[in-house]
Structure formats: structure tokens, C-alpha cells
């Protein structure tokens, strides 16, 4: 049985920090954010918002748009790494909010859990729910997978410039208008790592930034190797001489902690794939040098990062490589459109990859590309760490969904925060009733109880 994504909806907080304001306040060169990292704005949550609200707002949008009732939904999964409870799953908060609109107990039949594995857990949730449908367990119902996060780092840390917030809701069924997942090729890699983690009780993560960048690329490369093996052995893709698996994937969506990480990761994967091919010689001729090799080629990630001579040469080589027409062609055709939304919104952790997919659909469609039958690849990464590589094919009825996409209209009118406002929100100095914006037709947080017996209970309302 086929299964995949029928429709996709986003909810992005309307407050944002402008990259230039951020750079000025932190004494950085604005070009580092804009060109170095690809960040223009970072969405920031208001004082009356939390990750469950972002998820519920995205769910409500997709349900209203498709005129779905709770009876149409068999499973509701929420994937997040911004969880605020160690036991109560975020999907239960979301169901509580949705029942304010659809009526008490209307989601009683709807199973689901909150999933966690840093930024990759949404991909595991998609895979599990796709298999629930493929197994014929859905009884004609759809699954809702919502990825929702607030990417928040310590004040003054190097991660602070890669913040953002938002949720993406994806509706899955057995006759999707948008994308059918390719069967039997989903591939993973996993390793116990401390590149980025958030211990109990800490609101912001502990991050080893450069380590996490390199680990991300290594893990996705390993998952891609497994994907390639499966794609060939199942007959999904036939790789000819002087070809790589990437030649058979029309669009590539990467996990985007910041927009340029997609560019960086694609360059790393393409280099890895092209190295064995005749075309590599031509590329090396254009660059004018051999590919640098670490002083200890069998070394650890730490030893590679500590090998300054290699890192400098490799940085230079990557820069030259990404300027070659061969790489530029791949970048423009397969990746560039997926990066646009990320630069406007910032890091969405679990939701970043899917915001990128949404962005690619809208901006490729605007270029009048016929997307039907195109294969879309996904490179998902979660710190800690695991990667997942999988793919799907765009369906004949995709236009019903994609022609209505308008990122700016979906975000709505945004408000640029002053530095003082940003700091107050970041330091949680405002209570929900001191929010910057008055929500309309959205869920909002009213109160979090502090009494011993009910500590942590959250009270939400839907505002008309």
C-alpha cells in the first residue's frame, strides 16, 4: 500500500529578531549572519506561546484547510526537542487544545506519542506513521505528524545566532496528493555522541558547534551509503557508470539548523559521491589543487577539527568547489529553493527539514517547474546522534496543494523586536498576559500553575 504526505501546514510566530539588529547588539559583522550563515530573520515566540501551542496552531490550520473532523484522524504524533514535561506527552496538550475547538473527547480514539531524538525524531515519526498506513492499520483514517520546536540558545553563546521557532503539521494518508514515500529504502545511522544535548531542567542546550557540524555531515553520509545500497538492491534506482545516487534524486532537502548548513552539507555529500567518478578529475582541474587529506586520515572528529592546517586547506577547497559550475548546477537545481524559508525564519530543530521541503515546493513551483514524478530526497539529522535518509516521489495532484502556497501570507504580518524586547522574552521576564501581540483565531497560553500539587499544569485558550 502507498503512503505519504497529503498536505502540509506551518505555524510560525510573528515576532522576529532581525539579523542586522542581532549582529549590532552582539558586536558581530552582519555579513557573518547574512552571508556566512544565511540568516536574515529569526522567529521568536511571544510570552504566551510554547511549543505545544505552535504544534496545535499548525494542526488546526491543516484540519480547517482540509475540512477534517477529529474522526478523520487516527494518530497524532508530536515530535519535539523543546519538551517542557518529562512524562506528559506533548500530543496530549495539543489534543486538549484542539478539543476546545472540536469538542470534548472528540479525539478520544486518536493514538499517539511525543517523540524525541533532537532534530531527527520527526523523521522517525513520519516513518512509523507511514508504516502504520502501509500495514493497513489505519481503517481509512489519516495520521497527523507535527514537528514543533523553539530553538533557543544561551545569551551570548555562538548558537544564539542560530535561533528560531515554528511548527510544521503533515497529514499522511494512503492516497496522498503531494508525495508518496519510496518503500524499503529508508536508512539510518546512529552513535552515542555529545555534540548537542539538553540535560534535565536546563532550558537551553550544551553545544559543541563545530563538532556538531562535522558530525551531522558524517552521519548523513553514512545513512546515504545505506540508502544507496537499498535503492540499488530494491531496483528503485539504477546507477550507471559515471553516475552517483544523487544524480537520480531531483531535489535534496537537508536538515537546516541555519540556511547555509544545507549548502555545506550538500557540498560534503557531493564531494564524497563524486570522488570516485571520472567527472572528479575535471572538477579538480578547475579548482587547481588536489583534495586536502587530514594529517591523520584515520583520526577522530576531534583530531580532524584540531588539525588546523587541514581545516584551513579544506575550508579553502570547499569554497573553491562550491564555486565550480558543476557544483553550482547541482546546488541551484536540487537545493537552493529549500533554503529560502530557513533564512527568513531561522532554526526550527525538528521542523527545519520539513520547512525546507515546504520552501522547495513553493519556490520551485514559482519557477514553473513541473514537479510531477520528481524524486525528493531527505537528509535528516539529530544530535546525540542519528541521521535518516529517505525519499519520495511527487504525485500527479501536487498542484492542488502547491499552487496555494504563499510563505509570507502563511506567516502573517510580522513584528520586528527591539533588542530590549528580545532580551526580556529570552530571559522569560514576561508573563503570558504581558505578550507583545494579541492572538486571534489561535491558541494562547494563559497560565502555568506553580502550586505544589498542580505545578506545571498549563491552561490554554483559543482566542476568537
CB of 282 to ligand CAA, least distance (A): 23
Answer yes or no whether residue 212 interacts with ligand CAA by CB under 6 A: yes
Residues contacting 319, CB < 8 A, separation 6+: none
Interface pick for ligand CAA out of 96, 209, 292, 306 (rule CB under 6 A): 209
Interface pick for ligand CAA out of 16, 77, 93, 196 (rule CB under 6 A): 196
Q: Which one of the spans 169-177, 204-212, 330-338, 450-458 is the region binding ligand CAA (CB under 6 A)?
A: 204-212
CB of 17 to ligand CAA, least distance (A): 14
* Neighbour tally for 431: CB within 10 Å: 13
CB of 178 to ligand CAA, least distance (A): 25
Torsion of CA 169, 407, 5, 165, to 10 degrees: -30
Residues contacting 128, CB < 8 A, separation 6+: 77
Beta bridge partners of 170: 8, 145
Of 287, 265, 148, 163, the closest CA to residue 218 belongs to 265
| Pick 211 or 365: Cβ nearer ligand CAA | 211
Answer yes or no whether residue 213 interacts with ligand CAA by CB under 6 A: yes
- Residues in 101-120 at the binding interface with ligand CAA, rule: CB under 6 A: 118-119
CB of 39 to ligand CAA, least distance (A): 9
CB of 119 to ligand CAA, least distance (A): 4
Q: Which one of the spans 25-33, 121-129, 180-188, 290-298 is the region binding ligand CAA (CB under 6 A)?
A: 25-33
Give the Å distances, CA to CA, from 394 to 180, 181, 377. Answer: 7, 9, 11
Interface pick for ligand CAA out of 216, 327, 354, 357 (rule CB under 6 A): 216
Interface pick for ligand CAA out of 14, 61, 221, 255 (rule CB under 6 A): 255
DSSP string, 271-293: HHHHTTSTHHHHHHHHHTSPPP-
CB of 33 to ligand CAA, least distance (A): 8
Interface pick for ligand CAA out of 383, 386, 391, 395 (rule CB under 6 A): 383
| Pick 42 or 138: Cβ nearer ligand CAA | 42
Answer yes or no whether residue 183 interacts with ligand CAA by CB under 6 A: no
Residues contacting 444, CB < 8 A, separation 6+: 48, 49, 53, 432, 435, 460, 461, 462, 463
Answer yes or no whether residue 181 interacts with ligand CAA by CB under 6 A: no
Size of the site for ligand CAA (CB under 6 A): 28
CB of 239 to ligand CAA, least distance (A): 28
CA distance 192 to 130: 27
Answer yes or no whether residue 391 interacts with ligand CAA by CB under 6 A: no
Build a one-symbol-per-residue string for 349-378: x at contacts with ligand CAA by CB under 6 A, - elsewhere.
x-----------------------------
Give the Å distances, CA to CA, from 337 to 18, 67, 69, 143. Answer: 21, 29, 33, 27
Sign of dihedral through CA atoms 46, 47, 49, 50? positive
| Pick 159 or 377: Cβ nearer ligand CAA | 159
DSSP string, 435-462: -SS--SSEEEEEEE--SGGGTT-EEEEE
Which cell numbers hold the place of 15? 515576532
3-state DSSP call for residue 106? coil
Q: At what angle do helices 308-323 and 259-274 cross, to 10 degrees?
A: 90
- Residues in 264-323 at the binding interface with ligand CAA, rule: CB under 6 A: 264, 315
- Residues in 118-147 at the binding interface with ligand CAA, rule: CB under 6 A: 118-119
Q: Which one of the spans 33-41, 85-93, 272-280, 452-460 is the region binding ligand CAA (CB under 6 A)?
A: 33-41
Interface pick for ligand CAA out of 310, 381, 422, 460 (rule CB under 6 A): 381
DSSP string, 60-90: HHHHHHTT--GGGEEEEEEE-S--S-SSS-H
Of 458, 445, 447, 464, the closest CA to residue 45 belongs to 445
Which cell numbers hold the place of 78? 508530536
Answer yes or no whether residue 198 interacts with ligand CAA by CB under 6 A: no
Binding residues for ligand CAA, rule: CB under 6 A, are 29, 31-32, 35-37, 118-119, 158-159, 161-162, 196, 207, 209-210, 212-213, 216, 255, 257, 261, 264, 315, 347, 349, 381, 383
Amino acid at each position: 500500500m502507498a503512503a505519504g504526505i497529503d498536505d502540509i501546514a506551518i505555524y510560525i510566530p510573528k515576532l522576529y529578531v532581525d539579523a542586522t539588529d542581532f549582529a549590532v547588539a552582539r558586536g558581530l559583522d552582519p555579513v557573518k549572519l547574512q552571508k556566512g550563515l544565511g540568516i536574515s530573520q529569526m522567529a521568536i515566540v511571544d510570552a504566551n506561546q510554547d511549543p505545544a501551542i505552535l504544534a496545535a496552531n499548525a494542526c488546526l490550520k491543516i484540519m480547517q484547510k482540509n475540512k477534517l473532523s477529529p474522526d478523520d484522524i487516527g494518530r497524532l504524533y508530536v515530535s519535539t526537542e523543546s519538551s517542557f514535561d518529562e512524562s506528559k506527552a506533548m500530543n496530549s496538550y495539543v489534543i486538549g487544545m484542539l478539543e476546545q475547538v472540536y469538542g470534548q473527547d472528540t479525539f478520544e480514539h486518536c493514538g499517539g506519542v511525543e517523540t524525541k531524538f533532537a532534530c531527527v525524531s520527526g523523521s522517525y515519526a513520519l516513518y512509523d506513521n507511514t508504516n502504520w498506513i502501509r500495514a493497513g492499520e489505519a481503517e481509512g483514517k489519516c495520521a497527523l505528524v507535527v514537528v514543533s520546536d523553539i530553538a533557543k540558545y544561551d545569551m551570548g553563546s555562538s548558537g544564539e545566532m542560530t535561533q528560531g521557532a515554528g511548527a510544521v503539521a503533515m497529514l499522511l494518508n494512503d492516497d496522498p496528493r503531494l508525495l508518496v514515500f519510496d518503500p524499503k529504502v529508508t536508512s539510518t545511522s546512529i552513535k552515542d555522541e555529545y555534540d548537542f544535548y539538553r540535560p534535565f531542567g536546563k532550558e537551553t542546550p550544551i553545544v559543541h558547534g563545530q563538532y556538531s557540524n562535522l558530525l551531522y555531515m558524517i552521519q548523513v553520509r553514512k545513512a546515504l551509503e545505506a540508502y544507496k545500497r537499498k535503492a540499488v538492491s530494491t531496483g528503485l534506482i539504477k546507477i550507471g557508470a559515471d553516475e552517483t545516487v544523487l544524480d537520480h534524486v531531483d531535489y535534496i532537502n537537508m536538515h537546516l539548523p541555519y540556511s547555509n548548513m544545507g549548502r555545506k552539507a550538500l557540498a560534503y555529500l557531493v564531494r564524497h559521491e563524486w570522488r570516485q567518478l571520472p567527472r572528479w578529475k575535471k572538477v579538480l582541474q578547475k579548482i587547481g589543487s588536489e583534495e586536502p587529506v587530514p594529517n591523520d586520515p584515520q583520526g577522530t572528529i576531534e583530531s580532524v577539527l584540531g588539525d588546523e592546517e587541514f581545516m584551513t586547506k579544506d575550508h579553502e577547497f570547499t569554497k573553491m568547489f562550491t564555486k565550480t559550475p558543476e557544483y553550482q548546477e547541482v546546488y541551484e537545481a536540487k537545493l537552493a529553493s529549500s533554503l529560502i524559508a530557513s533564512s527568513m525564519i531561522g532554526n526550527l530543530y525538528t521542523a527545519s527539514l520539513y520547512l525546507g521541503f515546504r520552501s522547495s515546493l513553493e519556490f520551485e513551483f514559482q519557477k514553473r517547474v513541473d514537479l510531477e514524478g520528481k524524486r525528493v530526497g531527505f537528509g535528516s539529522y539529530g544530535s546525540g546522534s542519528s541521521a535518516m535518509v529517505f525519499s519520495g516521489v511527487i504525485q500527479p495532484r501536487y498542484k492542488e496543494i502547491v499552487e496555494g502556497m504563499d510563505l509570507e501570507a502563511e506567516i502573517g504580518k510580522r513584528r520586528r523586536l527591539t533588542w530590549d524586547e528580545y532580551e526580556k522574552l529570552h530571559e522569560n521576564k514576561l508573563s503570558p498576559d504581558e505578550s507583545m501581540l494579541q492572538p486571534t483565531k489561535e491558541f494562547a497560553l494563559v497560565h502555568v500553575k506553580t502550586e505544589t500539587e498542580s505545578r506545571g499544569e498549563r491552561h490554554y485558550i483559543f482566542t476568537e
